[in-house]
A and B are shown apart, each in its own frame.
Chain A
């Protein structure tokens, strides 16, 4: 299969599981993130699992100057170009209350950073006439809640961006999958209180992989979060505002 995936935030547990899946199909994987030592280990693992090419590249959502180099690196690969975005950051809401300036970082990591990157990549995808973008959002983006509304609002912005990008890319044969995971067993949720129905990163990656093949638009993973969020979205605001969930 002559396709290339760039994976932003490749050191996250979900991204690693997804990278293994596309590697097993023989795709080229460009693993983008900040921890180069860890990215090199992931790259070695991906090539031993069948990736045509696996390479670690530096990416920081907050350093948009570096994006052009990544786009050039993508352009050097022939065939279909794809991107999967797993970046995002979620400081405790109390930390944000203490220092509202943290909001800039959350919004950059979870929304504007990857959006800028995808915006630069889109013309290239259009030119190649296809390709898929996987954008990992969050169920937290479906409704603002007291516990993490800054992160939630950034992800909501990202969801809306992805839907617009889908609208655009589809004209040239491209596609965008919006992924809304519930609780996933990652470093971000390890040891947090109040976790339930926690899914493994492997299960989430398998869902994403299937959604890419089937060109689904928006998926919840695990699937039942669609119903949980359906209920949460429809709670009237005059009740919801008093709830703490």
Chain B
């Protein structure tokens, strides 16, 4: 197997690594590589920070091992290789009445990545996290392959779900898909005038899929204004328009400067009529709104961007409002800001979700933004919340210690699974995750 020396980065492009990567095209090639030496697996590099970077060693690109292996239409169980992309699974199965039970905000995420981050979707308050729908997975460890299930190997399963790839290389998984009506979405959009209304509506929403877009530049009485989207799957006919757009070059700074963002947010807010509206959309447009623009991360210029995402318990909602105030006051936010209600569902020791509210905001990579994000992280810790490893690129180890209460259990399981530390990544080293809280 040839190793390619290359520069690569997380989706935020603020953190980079240089290293050797192998990209096996067949399972047998992967086995050959791993029997010679273990190395962390990477996928589509959709984690924003350094979760998929290894600057002090090699990495294995899993994207070519992306086959769907079997499906049982009676139970809805799909056996699939780890490199398969969630969006491809959705596109293949939605017309037949099935969807991955949990889908992250991009369809480009691989199954392996979704497991390693135990991702959540717009239905977290009902369906829980991704790994709660994983019936079993095949893990390649130094000693050989193991079948991991929540029942038979509960510790290893909980260490692997959201476990940042530290317990072994995920080869394949059996996912329980969820029945759906078809491949269109019926979406109701409502304008939300302020923060209190937003929380009230998120709490009372009974829709299967719920997500809120925030205008993170609005201040004063408009603080927390935004749009609430509620969606249900439906069946019907929609013209197929698979028109991808590309961002051909790094955008200049003014593209996301304060006045431009304010103007954009204002227009985006007013796009939805005052009385709200219900529209029908292709399923991909609802779940993966940004996937139509390839390389949208270039909009933030060549220095890249950071996403801050935290979750805080319900009782800490005022603290979250304080964070939004700090963000709105700084004027640094980009148009991408999302507010969601989370349920308690989580599958692993290091899974991100907790019952509460989660806020995600993107910032261009500037000194002020980095300083603001540090502050937001401190506020998160003080509020009893936690930050999301799939997004983080700035936290320091003392800042996250204590955020994940089951970290000790994770460390023990990882120590057993990969004692030599072959699978460590830049994120794991930066936050000293394996050395315990």
Contact = CB atoms under 8 A, between A and B. Distances in A.
Interface string B389-409: 000000000000000000000
B28 A38 contact: yes
A179 to B, nearest CB: 20
Interface string A1-38: 00000000001110000000000000000000001011
B4 A44 contact: no
Main secondary structure of the interface of B (DSSP, over half): mixed
Interface stretch (A82-90, A104-112, A121-129, A186-194): A186-194
Contacts of A143: none
B25 A41 contact: no
Interface string B25-52: 1111100000000000000000000000
B229 interface: no
B69 A44 contact: yes
A56 interface: no
Given A190-B2, A191-B3, A38 B27 contact: yes
A168 interface: no
Most A CB within 10 A of own CB, among B24, B25, B69: B25
Interface residues of B, number: 19
Contacts of A38: 26-28
B189 interface: no
Contacts, number: 46
Residue of B29, B67, B81 ringed by the most chain A CB atoms within 10 A = B67
A145 interface: no
Contact of A190 (B4, B67, B92): B4
B275 interface: no
A42 interface: yes
Contact of A13 (B2, B64, B67, B69): B64
Contact of B69 (A41, A49, A191): A41
B68 A48 contact: yes
Contacts of B2: 190-192
B91 to A, nearest CB: 10
A11 B26 contact: yes
A45 interface: yes
B224 to A, nearest CB: 42
A12 B3 CA distance: 18
B69 A45 contact: yes
Interface in A167-208: 186-187, 190-192
Nearest to B26: A38
B28 A45 contact: no
B71 A48 contact: yes
A201 B26 CA distance: 15
Given A41-B67, A42-B67, A44-B70, A11 B4 contact: no
Contacts of A190: 2, 4, 23
A37 B70 contact: no
Size bin of chain A's contact surface: 10 to 19
B59 to A, nearest CB: 13
A11 B71 CA distance: 22
SS class of chain A's interface: helix, strand, loop or mixed? loop
Contacts of B28: 35, 37-38
B67 A44 contact: yes
A180 to B, nearest CB: 22
Contacts of A37: 26-28
B25 A48 contact: no
A37 B4 CA distance: 26
Interface string B60-100: 00001001111100000000010000000000100000000
Contacts of A11: 25-26
A48 B92 contact: yes
Contacts of B71: 48
A168 B67 CA distance: 37
A112 B320 CA distance: 69
Interface string B346-373: 0000000000000000000000000000
Contacts of B4: 190-191
A122 B3 CA distance: 41
Nearest to B67: A45
A37 B5 CA distance: 29
Contacts of B92: 48-50
B69 A35 contact: no
Interface string A42-81: 1011001110000000000000000000000000000000
Interface string B5-36: 10000000000000000011111110000000
B68 A45 contact: yes
Nearest to B4: A191
Given A35-B28, A37-B27, A38-B26, 7 more contacts: A13-B25, A41-B27, A41-B81, A48-B71, A191-B3, A191-B4, A192-B2
Interface of A: 11-13, 35, 37-38, 41-42, 44-45, 48-50, 186-187, 190-192
9 contacts: A12-B25, A13-B25, A35-B26, A37-B26, A37-B27, A38-B28, A41-B69, A187-B23, A187-B29
The 6 tightest CB contacts between A and B, nearest first, are: A191-B4, A45-B67, A191-B2, A48-B68, A187-B25, A38-B26
